[in-house]
Structure 1
């Protein structure tokens, strides 16, 4: 019976001696996501938008213009570059 009490006392000591997990630092994840946002709303997004508008212009030039596609490209370009401002308008610090 004494061994059982000793084991229970040691187990309780181990449980109470353990420190609680503190909040982890998520800055590497935040840095990675910020890099992606910067790339997509910066040079890469700009180049993709230019290519999409050039393709739309080429379609217009060849008579294969689809106004739905052009409108979708235009709205996509607007959303890509205004997304940070839109989200900042909803988010509070």
Structure 2
């Protein structure tokens, strides 16, 4: 049950808002890079090239956000290893039913 609750919380706070937030940021930094209708077809706005700096900044933000996640994961691993060495936090296999 705890694993299920953890998965739900991760999806609610991570998977759901992330695309929305990143979409809002991209729309702010590169407003001309959306789709436009041309003779009934959806095509990339030809003015998108004007927003190169905004797109570069957006891609940099995306990469740095992933780097931030890797750094936090590494810090968590270091903390777990230290606790294991002290005997405070011992990983055990689940008991058989």
TM-score of the pair, normalised by structure 1: 0.40
Higher share of residues assigned strand: 2
Greater relative contact order structure (CA < 8 Å, 6+ sep): 1
Larger radius of gyration: 1
